Amino acid sequence: MSSHTFDLVVLGAGSGGYSAALRASQLGMSVALIEKSKVGGTCLHVGCIPTKALLHAAEVADAARDAARFGVKATLEGIDVPAVIQYREGIVSSKYKGLQGLIKARGITLIEGEGRLTSPTTVQVGDTTVTGTNIVLATGSYSRTLPGLEIGGRVITSEQALQLDYVPKKVAVLGGGVIGVEFSSVWRSWGSEVHIIEGLPRLVPAEEESVSKQFERAFRKRGIEFTTGVRFQSVTQNDQGVVVTLENGATIEAELLLVAVGRGPATANLGFEEVGVAMDRGFVLTDERLRTNIPGVWAVGDIVPGLQLAHRGYQHGIFVAEEIAGLNPVVISDTNIPKVTYSEPEVASVGLGEAKAKEQYGDAAIATYEYNLAGNGKSHILETSGSIKIIRVIDGPVVGVHMIGARVGELIGEAQLAVNWDAHPEDVAPLIHAHPTQNEALGEAFLALAGKPLHG
Ligand code: FAD
Beta-bridge partners for 124: 116, 129
Q: Check if 112 has its Cβ closer than 6 Å to any atom of ligand 1.
A: no
| pLDDT average, residue stretch 48-76 | 96
Return phi, psi of residue 372, to 5°.
-85, 125
Q: What are the pLDDT digits (tens) for 83-95?
A: 999 999 999 999 9
Check whether 1 has a pLDDT greater than 80: no
Distance CA 268, CA 273 (A): 9
| pLDDT average, residue stretch 49-60 | 98
What pLDDT score does 454 carry?
80
Burial class (CB in 10 A: 0-12, 13-18, 19+), 323: middle
Angle at 308 between CA 352 and CA 402, to 5 degrees: 30
| pLDDT average, residue stretch 25-54 | 98
Check whether 456 has a pLDDT greater than 70: no
Q: Positive or negative, the Cα torsion across 263, 268, 270, 273?
A: positive
195 is catalytic: no
Burial class (CB in 10 A: 0-12, 13-18, 19+), 1: exposed
Q: What are the pLDDT digits (tens) for 393-440?
A: 999 999 999 999 999 999 999 999 999 999 999 999 999 999 999 999
- Structural domains of the chain ordered from first start: 3-142+264-334 (3.50.50.60), 155-261 (3.50.50.60), 345-450 (3.30.390.30)
Q: Check if 10 has its Cβ closer than 6 Å to any atom of ligand 1.
A: no
Angle at 70 between CA 64 and CA 74, to 5 degrees: 35
Q: Report helix, strand or coil for 283.
A: strand
Distance CA 247, CA 231 (A): 5
Output the CA 138–ligand 1 centroid distance in Å.
Answer: 9
Q: What are the pLDDT digits (tens) for 348-384?
A: 999 999 999 999 999 999 999 999 999 999 999 998 9
pTM greater than 0.80: yes
What pLDDT score does 95 carry?
98
Flag whether 141 is marked binding. yes
Q: Are 392 and 402 in contact (CB under 8 A)?
A: no
The better pLDDT of the pair 8, 451 is held by: 8
So what's the ipTM on this one?
0.99
Distance CA 416, CA 58 (A): 28
Beta-bridge partners for 297: 135
Other Cβ atoms within 10 Å of 27 Cβ, number: 16
- Residue 340's identity, in one-letter code, is V
Q: Check if 22 has its Cβ closer than 6 Å to any atom of ligand 1.
A: no
SS (H, E, C) 96-124: HHHHHHHHHHCCCEEEECCEEEEECCEEE
What pLDDT score does 21 carry?
98
Residue in 56, 433, 435, 455 annotated catalytic: 435
Half-sphere exposure of 366 (CA within 13 A, CB side): 18
